[in-house]
Amino acid sequence: MDVLVLLDHHPAREGSAPRSTAAELLTLARDLAGDPGTGAVHAVRVGDDGHGTAAELAAAHGADHLHLVHVEGADDRLTASVTDALRAVLAAHPVPLVLLASTFEGKEAAARLAVQTRGGVVTDATTVEVADGRVVAGKAVLAGSWATRCAVTGELAVVTVKPHSLRAAPAAQPSRPQQHEHRVEASAAARAVTVVSRAPRPTSDRPSLAEAEVVVVGGRGTNGDFAPLEELADVLDGAVGATRVATDEGWIGHEAQVGQTGVTISPRLYVGVGVSGAVHHRGGMDASVTVVAVNEDADAPIFEFADYGVVGDLTEVVPALTAELRRRRSS
């Protein structure tokens, strides 16, 4: 099967390198395409290539084609512009499957593309396969209580894949992708938006919440003290998140909120500290591979689905855990 992959990058950073999810999607696309000659992987970069980083990534992960698309007449970092770019590539190289990352921007672009092409869209997928000639995506719904498999019956499947659903792996032999340049006239939807200014969020040494392999999340039980959680996250090279209660109390910014109305995460390790595990929070982290819970309340709902649980005072447990991890890493 031929597969098209959007090499996602941070929309607020012009010319920035692709996100880590791009390598994961290329790995998945390569597996779906099969042996050379049976299917092709088309990688799409919208806007400036950022010093050739997209070309390097596409080659390392075995892409057959690299499409560099410039949208003229609008900011090419808008989701409407990204949709214009994807439609242009699909018009020149029709494929049955488009893969995007399950970010806020990726899901919006996927929805636009599916509507405009009458394709079938599945968001927040954790698996993608081909069965009986159809694209079938697996995803959890209803706060993780149901595992579903969604088959796309139309000619085009547009699927957004959660970060860390699979491990990125370079191709056994790097490829030499055929490069294609596209210049696309922006649609009315893209031209209707004028970007007046951009205010990037303050950067830190921690990975972004949506892409982090390790996330330490604090809830009401922290009583607003996130310092021990930040120390633990730094030892684990992880990100810091929070429940809605913690952000509403002003203990941490709303951009750190994990849940159905916040950021959806899928780390390999989730550590919930003082988190009750309410259904609206679980909906944003149910794809976590391993869940560790620290809570004083032995009856907290989070213990029902945690892989490992510690019933205890988080002000004692978290510093002790951090100290032990530091000791092991230094030995």
CATH number for 299: 3.40.50.1220
Q: Are strands 290-295 and 239-242 parallel, antiparallel or unpaired?
A: unpaired
Residue 51 has what pLDDT?
74
Listing from the earlier edge strand, what are the strands of the sheet with 134-141? 127-131, 134-141, 146-152
Query: For residue 331, what pLDDT band results from cuts at 50, 70 and 90?
Result: confident
Q: Cα angle at 307 between 274 and 240, to 5 degrees?
A: 45
Asked whether residue 116 falls in the same domain as residue 231, the answer is: no
Asked whether residue 150 falls in the same domain as residue 42, the answer is: yes
Asked whether residue 141 falls in the same domain as residue 172, the answer is: yes
Query: For residue 275, what pLDDT band results from cuts at 50, 70 and 90?
Result: very high
Overall domain count for the chain: 2
Q: Which helix (H) or strand (E) holds 120?
A: strand 120-125
Asked whether residue 68 falls in the same domain as residue 165, the answer is: yes
Q: Which residues contact 324 (CB under 8 A, 6 or more apart)?
A: none
Asked whether residue 164 falls in the same domain as residue 15, the answer is: yes
d(CA 318, CA 231): 9
Residue 81 has what pLDDT?
96
Average pLDDT over residues 210-238: 95
Residue 200 has what pLDDT?
66
Asked whether residue 133 falls in the same domain as residue 72, the answer is: yes
Asked whether residue 162 falls in the same domain as residue 84, the answer is: yes
Asked whether residue 10 falls in the same domain as residue 97, the answer is: yes
Asked whether residue 101 falls in the same domain as residue 222, the answer is: no
Residue 13 has what pLDDT?
57
Q: Which residues of 27-40 are buried (b: 16+ CB within 10 A; e: fewer)?
A: bbbbbbbeeeeebb
How far is the CA of 126 from the CAs of 33, 165, 167, 288, in angstroms?
Answer: 18, 5, 12, 11
How many percent of the chain have pLDDT more than 90?
A: 73
**Does any domain span residue 31?**
yes
Please give the residue range of the domain that contains residue 38: 3-191
Does residue 186 carry a pLDDT above 70? yes
Please give the distance of CA 328 from its chain centroid, rounded to a whole number. 30
Query: For residue 14, what pLDDT band results from cuts at 50, 70 and 90?
Result: low
Of the listed ranges 170-184, 198-212, 309-323, the one predicted with least confidence: 198-212
Backbone angles phi, psi at 40, to 5 degrees: -125, 145
Query: For residue 145, what pLDDT band results from cuts at 50, 70 and 90?
Result: confident
Does residue 140 carry a pLDDT above 70? yes
Residue 276 has what pLDDT?
95
Asked whether residue 154 falls in the same domain as residue 230, the answer is: no
Asked whether residue 50 falls in the same domain as residue 184, the answer is: yes
**Does any domain span residue 26?**
yes
Which CATH number does the domain housing residue 43 bear?
A: 3.40.50.620
**Does any domain span residue 131?**
yes
Does residue 63 carry a pLDDT above 70? yes
Contact (Cβ atoms closer than 8 angstroms) between residue 55 and residue 66? yes
Backbone angles phi, psi at 180, to 5 degrees: -130, 130
Extract the tokens encoding 73.
């007449």
Average pLDDT over residues 97-121: 95
Does residue 202 carry a pLDDT above 80? no
Asked whether residue 53 falls in the same domain as residue 169, the answer is: yes
Residue pLDDT, tens place only, 282-304:
988 988 999 999 999 999 999 99
